[in-house]
Amino acid sequence: MRRLSLLALATVMLLIGLSPVGASTIAREAEILLVAHPDVNTRQLNRDTTRAIFAMRQRTWPDGQAVRVFVLDNSHPVHARFAKEQLTVYPHQLQLAWDRMVFSGTGQAPDRVRNQAEMRERIAATPGALGYLEREYLDDRVQVISME
Protein backbone atom coordinates (compact mmCIF):
# COMPACT_ATOMS: atom_id res chain seq x y z
CA MET A 1 0.00 0.00 0.00
CA ARG A 2 2.74 2.34 1.02
CA ARG A 3 4.61 1.40 -2.09
CA LEU A 4 1.56 2.12 -4.13
CA SER A 5 1.15 5.56 -2.63
CA LEU A 6 4.84 6.19 -3.15
CA LEU A 7 4.36 5.20 -6.76
CA ALA A 8 1.34 7.48 -6.98
CA LEU A 9 3.35 10.30 -5.43
CA ALA A 10 6.19 9.66 -7.82
CA THR A 11 3.75 9.69 -10.71
CA VAL A 12 2.23 12.94 -9.55
CA MET A 13 5.68 14.43 -9.09
CA LEU A 14 6.62 13.28 -12.56
CA LEU A 15 3.51 14.88 -13.95
CA ILE A 16 4.26 18.08 -12.05
CA GLY A 17 7.85 17.71 -13.10
CA LEU A 18 6.63 17.74 -16.67
CA SER A 19 4.75 20.96 -16.21
CA PRO A 20 7.85 23.19 -16.07
CA VAL A 21 8.66 21.73 -19.49
CA GLY A 22 5.19 22.80 -20.53
CA ALA A 23 5.81 26.19 -18.97
CA SER A 24 9.09 26.58 -20.79
CA THR A 25 7.35 25.65 -24.01
CA ILE A 26 5.07 28.57 -23.33
CA ALA A 27 8.08 30.66 -22.37
CA ARG A 28 9.61 29.77 -25.72
CA GLU A 29 6.63 31.49 -27.28
CA ALA A 30 8.06 34.68 -25.81
CA GLU A 31 7.96 37.80 -27.88
CA ILE A 32 10.66 38.06 -30.57
CA LEU A 33 12.13 41.54 -30.96
CA LEU A 34 14.01 43.23 -33.77
CA VAL A 35 17.51 43.92 -32.51
CA ALA A 36 20.28 46.10 -33.92
CA HIS A 37 23.81 47.29 -33.22
CA PRO A 38 23.72 50.20 -30.73
CA ASP A 39 25.17 52.70 -33.24
CA VAL A 40 22.24 52.30 -35.64
CA ASN A 41 20.32 55.60 -35.74
CA THR A 42 17.02 54.14 -36.93
CA ARG A 43 14.64 53.48 -34.04
CA GLN A 44 11.67 52.22 -35.98
CA LEU A 45 11.07 50.18 -39.14
CA ASN A 46 7.79 49.43 -40.86
CA ARG A 47 6.96 45.84 -41.67
CA ASP A 48 7.49 46.19 -45.44
CA THR A 49 10.96 47.65 -44.98
CA THR A 50 11.82 45.00 -42.41
CA ARG A 51 10.68 42.31 -44.81
CA ALA A 52 12.65 43.87 -47.67
CA ILE A 53 15.78 43.97 -45.51
CA PHE A 54 15.41 40.35 -44.34
CA ALA A 55 14.66 39.31 -47.92
CA MET A 56 18.04 40.99 -48.70
CA ARG A 57 16.45 43.28 -51.27
CA GLN A 58 17.17 46.44 -49.33
CA ARG A 59 20.80 46.76 -48.28
CA THR A 60 20.81 49.92 -46.20
CA TRP A 61 19.10 51.39 -43.19
CA PRO A 62 16.72 54.23 -44.08
CA ASP A 63 19.50 56.74 -43.18
CA GLY A 64 21.89 55.13 -45.66
CA GLN A 65 24.08 53.03 -43.35
CA ALA A 66 24.88 49.55 -44.69
CA VAL A 67 22.82 46.87 -43.00
CA ARG A 68 24.20 43.45 -42.05
CA VAL A 69 21.49 40.85 -41.57
CA PHE A 70 21.86 37.94 -39.13
CA VAL A 71 19.51 34.96 -39.07
CA LEU A 72 19.22 31.62 -37.30
CA ASP A 73 18.96 28.35 -39.23
CA ASN A 74 15.78 27.79 -41.22
CA SER A 75 14.90 24.91 -38.91
CA HIS A 76 15.34 26.96 -35.70
CA PRO A 77 11.91 27.50 -34.09
CA VAL A 78 12.68 31.15 -33.31
CA HIS A 79 13.56 31.79 -36.95
CA ALA A 80 10.36 30.13 -38.14
CA ARG A 81 8.28 32.17 -35.69
CA PHE A 82 10.02 35.41 -36.57
CA ALA A 83 9.49 34.84 -40.30
CA LYS A 84 5.87 33.84 -39.96
CA GLU A 85 4.71 36.20 -37.22
CA GLN A 86 6.78 39.33 -37.78
CA LEU A 87 7.50 39.21 -41.50
CA THR A 88 4.46 37.13 -42.53
CA VAL A 89 6.54 35.00 -44.88
CA TYR A 90 7.39 31.31 -44.60
CA PRO A 91 11.00 30.30 -43.94
CA HIS A 92 11.20 28.33 -47.21
CA GLN A 93 10.06 31.43 -49.13
CA LEU A 94 12.82 33.47 -47.52
CA GLN A 95 15.38 30.79 -48.38
CA LEU A 96 14.22 30.74 -51.99
CA ALA A 97 14.39 34.55 -52.13
CA TRP A 98 18.00 34.43 -50.84
CA ASP A 99 18.97 31.71 -53.30
CA ARG A 100 17.52 33.70 -56.17
CA MET A 101 19.48 36.79 -55.12
CA VAL A 102 22.75 34.95 -54.53
CA PHE A 103 22.68 33.03 -57.81
CA SER A 104 21.49 35.87 -60.04
CA GLY A 105 23.90 38.59 -58.92
CA THR A 106 21.16 40.72 -57.40
CA GLY A 107 22.10 40.38 -53.74
CA GLN A 108 23.82 38.52 -50.94
CA ALA A 109 22.77 35.93 -48.38
CA PRO A 110 22.30 36.90 -44.72
CA ASP A 111 24.89 35.84 -42.13
CA ARG A 112 23.95 32.65 -40.27
CA VAL A 113 24.32 32.22 -36.54
CA ARG A 114 23.85 29.00 -34.58
CA ASN A 115 21.88 30.28 -31.60
CA GLN A 116 20.55 33.41 -29.94
CA ALA A 117 23.61 33.92 -27.77
CA GLU A 118 25.75 34.05 -30.89
CA MET A 119 23.16 36.31 -32.54
CA ARG A 120 23.51 38.78 -29.67
CA GLU A 121 27.33 38.68 -29.77
CA ARG A 122 27.49 39.22 -33.53
CA ILE A 123 24.95 42.04 -33.49
CA ALA A 124 26.79 43.75 -30.64
CA ALA A 125 30.08 43.49 -32.54
CA THR A 126 28.96 44.36 -36.09
CA PRO A 127 28.17 47.98 -37.08
CA GLY A 128 24.87 48.19 -38.97
CA ALA A 129 23.80 44.74 -37.76
CA LEU A 130 20.14 43.71 -37.67
CA GLY A 131 18.71 40.49 -36.25
CA TYR A 132 16.10 39.26 -33.80
CA LEU A 133 16.07 37.90 -30.26
CA GLU A 134 13.69 36.71 -27.64
CA ARG A 135 13.43 39.20 -24.80
CA GLU A 136 15.39 37.04 -22.33
CA TYR A 137 18.47 37.22 -24.59
CA LEU A 138 18.61 41.02 -24.67
CA ASP A 139 21.32 42.96 -22.93
CA ASP A 140 22.56 46.56 -23.04
CA ARG A 141 25.06 45.94 -25.84
CA VAL A 142 22.25 45.79 -28.39
CA GLN A 143 19.24 47.98 -29.06
CA VAL A 144 15.67 47.05 -29.80
CA ILE A 145 14.11 48.43 -32.99
CA SER A 146 10.38 48.87 -32.89
CA MET A 147 8.32 47.64 -35.79
CA GLU A 148 5.15 49.43 -36.82
Partner 1 sequence: MIVSKSFRWSDPRSIFAMAAALVLGFSAQARSDEGVLDTLQMHGFLSQALIITDDNNFFGPSSESQGSLKFTEIGANASLRPHEDVLLAAQVLSRRAGGDGSDARPVLDYGVVDYQMLSNQQRTFGVQVGRFKNPFGFYNQTRDVAFTRPSILLPQSIYFDRTRSLALSGDGVSLYHDERLSRGSLRTQIGVGQVQAGDDLRQTLRLDSVPGSLDPKRSAIGQIRYEHDGGRIVAAISAASANARFNSSMPGLSDGDFYFTPWVLSLQYNAENWSLTGEYALRNSGLENFNNPAFNFDVTGESWYVQYTRRFDENWQWLIRYDHLISNRDDRSGEAFEASGAGPAHSQFAKDMTLGLQWNLNPRVMMAAEYHHVNGTGWLPIQDNPDPSETSRRWNMLLFQLSLRF
Q: Which helix (H) or strand (E) holds 26?
A: helix 2-28
Nearer to partner 1, 30 or 58 (CB): 58
Interface residue with partner 1 among 59, 124, 138, 147 (CB under 8 A) is 59
Task: Quickly list H helices, 29-148.
Answer: 47-54, 77-81, 91-102, 116-125
Interface residue with partner 1 among 7, 12, 23, 96 (CB under 8 A) is 96
Q: How far is the CB of 136 from partner 1 (least distance, A)?
A: 27
Backbone φ, ψ for residue 81 (5° rounding): -65, -40
Nearer to partner 1, 119 or 137 (CB): 119
Can residue 144 be called a binding residue for partner 1 (CB under 8 A)? no
Strands 32-36 and 129-134, sheet pairing: antiparallel
